[in-house]
Chain A
Amino acid sequence: MAVRTRMSGNEAVSHAIRQISPDVMPAFPITPSTEIPQYISTMIANGEIDTEFIPVESEHSAMSAAIGAGAAGARVFTATSSAGLALMWEVVYVAASSRLPLVMAVVNRGLTGPLNINAEHSDSMGARDSGWIQIYAENNQEAYDNMLQAYRIAEHAEVHLPVMICQDGFITSHAVENISLLEDEPVKKFVGEYEPEHFLLNEKEPMAVGPYAVSNYCMEAKKAQAEAMIRAKKVILDVAREFEELSGRTYGFYEAYRMEDAEYAVVAIGSVCGTTKDAVDRLREAGVKAGLVKVRVFRPFPGEELAEALRGCKAVAIMDRCESYSGEGGPLGAELTAAMYRAKLAAETVNIVYGLSGRDVRVEDMERVYDDLRKMAEEGLRFAQYPYLGLRE
């Protein structure tokens, strides 16, 4: 039976980890993910789980130790944010190319410049091409549910790729909300035991990991990695279906909210989607055909599916909680616009940068976005550059 309670996003992820009880967790504290290693260390100290915590001296070593433990045959978990993920950068790629099914909770926070500790997606978006699967949550419930699905995806024989489970710093990680938890036994059964096919500590089959590969082999390794990412699409959906049978909660690449006849759509990632749903409800009451497409899976990028979800819309606002300094907008904007072009969609689009460094977004802000979409479709409104939402004038 489900357990109804209330907890923060960090507590929810830690609770999932208590239920999964991975073998090894190397981690280094960084706001706003620090609570996760704290909660898990407390569980270990109280004998609730038999995970071994490695109190590494940096995030670079956290990911390095995770690679070592994963290659050795252990189920591994770590958590980080912002500069911590940036410090890991080099070895984040190594983890993926070594095809290790690690899972990392990323509590999204902006990268420094200026130093800031609040929600932004520049950390995980910066790692979007590192070969990790990326799944984002709107709230604590989704952070919990995504974490329970993560190892099933990562360890799947068709995938063998690491997974980032992302949630918005503070807004989700620290806000206490209602949540429905699954009981321990069904979770353990769902996640299953980890049985690696090849691992360093297999006495019957010594193994070498991390070769130097020259030009005549390296390209094939990268192509194999890319194909695993494509195969992950089916696995993500299969695992979601199985999870639905267990929990009654539905997951896919994205959530379509009131999109059935929507003329004006917002596409966004993370906690802003909750705010946007309120705006959609208000606008629907006023007769505006507003809808929301919430992107859950960013890697692999479900471009075709997202474009299909937007077919029929007159105008679409693509929201990025991340500046990519391309002079053209953010990463979701760039990738989704390309997908819409390939799908031959005719909708007007605007790429909006919002919520940087934790800048608040209110329901009224999102209502104004929908108003702009209407003006784009009906009055020919165009933006000279990609607009910033909520910028101080």
Chain B
Amino acid sequence: MNATTFDYKEIQGREERLAPGHRLCAGCGATIAVRNVLKALHPGDHAVVGNATGCLEVSSYTYPYTAYEDSYIHSAFENAGATLSGVETAYRVLKKKGKIGADYKFITFGGDGGTYDIGLQSLSGAMERGHDMVYVCYDNGAYMNTGIQRSSATPPFADTTTTPAGKVSAGKPQPRKDLAAIMAAHNIPYVGQTTFIGNMKDLYTKSERAIYTEGPAFLNIMAPCPRGWRYEAPELIAICKAAVETCYWPLFEVVEGKWSLNYEPKKKLPIEEFLKRQGRFKHLFTPENEHCIGEFQAEVDRRWEELLARCAQ
């Protein structure tokens, strides 16, 4: 891998590979994820971008316009892993046969619906088979494209349209699936978890590492959704910061099986700092639901300790 040093100006000055004019919302995390992951491609390198059906797909490749400067393929909701594995295999064969000349990288994007849930099998198969590709999950914690239904990535107690908070319900009853750990259990060369922090250095470094690591790589990017999380667009970065500072969304990576923490808050903030900024948790700040915040905190603490133990090994 030829890692470049992080030069913020140079990187942000690179040509956009996701052109403006797409139809994603203001304050949408998916857009930031795609723009920044693709910026980690070294200038001049070719890529084929894949995509699962979802907000990103319907808003960035609406016939007859595509927002992608690179070749792009979408075929269905649950098969982004398999589809790109076919592209990557074709690349290897055609290259071997001398039918194509240029080098290509393969990066596919799916939301948490297409990744944690309906596309998990396809993703697992593609990673296990060892294709030289990156699967990027932009995790906004619900099926946003169909109207904010819960997914297995939805945090506990979130108010979604299929786990609505009501008189006898405090929102989603279950905790989140730990997909990064599941992907690490595939024994692939690289797994990274990140979000939008500061000058995006963590996101850039992990994207570049994922793209330029030979073999399968998986990136899990927390990508807030203003509609589903119910925040004002400018709040996005503050929410991401709160997610990291509360240890709700730790930044870590698993390189060749070795876990390492990329950021440890000096003082771990209480989970309320993350929850209070989002309308989907509003119902928790009532006397009858207060206990839920305690349960949420306990789950965050348990997982954080577990992660620290993994990284200490």
Contact = CB atoms under 8 A, between A and B. Distances in A.
Interface stretch (B66-74, B195-203, B276-284): B66-74
Contacts of A210: 61, 73-75
Contacts of B87: 68-69, 71-72, 200-201
Contacts of A202: 71, 100
Nearest to A60: B79
Interface string A364-376: 0000000000000
A172 interface: no
Contacts of B104: 201
Interface in A202-227: 202-203, 206-214, 217
Interface in A58-79: 58, 60-62, 64-74, 76
Interface of B: 46, 48, 50, 57-58, 61-64, 66, 68-76, 78-79, 81-94, 96-97, 99-102, 104, 121-122, 124-126, 128-129
A212 B76 contact: no
Contact of A64 (B72, B76, B92, B128): B76
Contacts of B69: 206
Contacts of A288: none
Interface of A: 23-24, 26, 50-52, 54-58, 60-62, 64-74, 76, 90-91, 94, 98, 200-203, 206-214, 217
Nearest to A57: B125
A86 to B, nearest CB: 15
B133 to A, nearest CB: 10
23 contacts: A26-B82, A50-B93, A50-B96, A54-B89, A57-B121, A58-B122, A60-B122, A64-B76, A64-B79, A64-B83, A65-B83, A67-B73, A68-B75, A70-B86, A71-B73, A71-B87, A72-B94, A203-B46, A208-B61, A209-B72, A210-B61, A210-B74, A211-B66
A307 B64 CA distance: 41
A380 B61 CA distance: 61
B136 to A, nearest CB: 16
B73 A201 contact: no
Contact of A61 (B48, B68, B125): B125
A98 B68 CA distance: 18
A74 B94 contact: yes
B75 A67 contact: yes
A68 B122 contact: no
B291 to A, nearest CB: 42
Interface hub of B62, B96, B125 (most chain A Cβ within 10 A): B125
Contacts of B78: 60
A64 B93 contact: no
B75 A74 contact: no
B90 A68 contact: yes
A57 B57 CA distance: 25
A171 B89 CA distance: 34
A52 B87 CA distance: 12
Interface hub of B64, B70, B90, B125 (most chain A Cβ within 10 A): B90
B99 A58 contact: no
B62 A214 contact: yes
Nearest to A216: B63
B61 A207 contact: no
B58 A212 contact: yes
Contact of B93 (A52, A68, A214): A52
A323 B207 CA distance: 52
B63 A55 contact: no
A24 B92 CA distance: 10
Given A64-B75, A208-B68, A212-B63, A201 B90 contact: yes
A300 B36 CA distance: 47
A313 B99 CA distance: 54
Given A200-B73, A201-B100, A72 B91 contact: yes
A206 B75 contact: no
B86 A217 contact: no
Given A61-B79, A201-B91, A69 B86 contact: yes
Contact of A56 (B57, B61, B73, B82): B82
Nearest to B65: A211
B169 to A, nearest CB: 33
Contacts of B64: 211, 217
A61 B121 contact: yes
A87 to B, nearest CB: 11
A201 B96 CA distance: 14
A74 B61 CA distance: 23
Given A200-B87, A212-B62, 5 more contacts: A61-B79, A91-B76, A201-B87, A202-B71, A212-B74
